[in-house]
Amino acid sequence: MKGHLVLVRTDGVIWKRCRKSVVHFPHGDSDRIRANKPGQSVPSFLEGPSFDRQGYLYVTDIPYGRIFRISPQRDWQLIAEYDGWPNGLKIHKDGRIFIADYKNGILLLDPDTKKISPVLTHRRSEGFKGVLLADMPFAGKQLYSHR
């Protein structure tokens, strides 16, 4: 199923054939592509699928620093575009969206204002290398790891 996204939600609903045609997927390059796939054309690299409580699916597009929201009707909306390499995200039960960004550390996306702000960009004087969001456990604590 080339050009389609297939996911299964935790309630068993299968998402097939999500239409990507309404979203521009560039065939150009970015600093991420130049660093990791020099000379190649990469239209997108979707990661980090997470559903919110309203049934919207959020995904990251790593090489172009984009966050998309896909409605239950499978309509795509660009929520954020910024200078980063978002390799995953987790949605907290209160609706905040935490982004694991290879370039910028852990970021917070407000889904209403679409504003992105830093949460944890480094530890002491060192930046993270490949930060991952592991879980959103109780009491608002967040586990993370980095390579």
**pLDDT tens by residue, 21-57:** 445 555 566 777 777 777 777 777 788 889 999 999 9
Global pTM reads 0.72
Give residue limits of the domains in the chain.
Answer: 19-145
Q: How many helices (H) and strands (E) does the chain have?
A: 1, 14
The H or E element containing residue 33 is helix 31-36
Ordered per-residue pLDDT tens for the chain, 147 residues: 444 454 545 454 544 444 444 455 555 667 777 777 777 777 777 888 899 999 999 999 988 899 999 998 888 899 999 999 998 999 988 889 999 998 898 899 998 899 999 988 877 777 767 676 655 543 344 444 444
Beta strand pairing call for 76-81 and 86-91: unpaired
Q: What homologous superfamily is domain 19-145 in, according to CATH?
A: TolB, C-terminal domain (2.120.10.30)
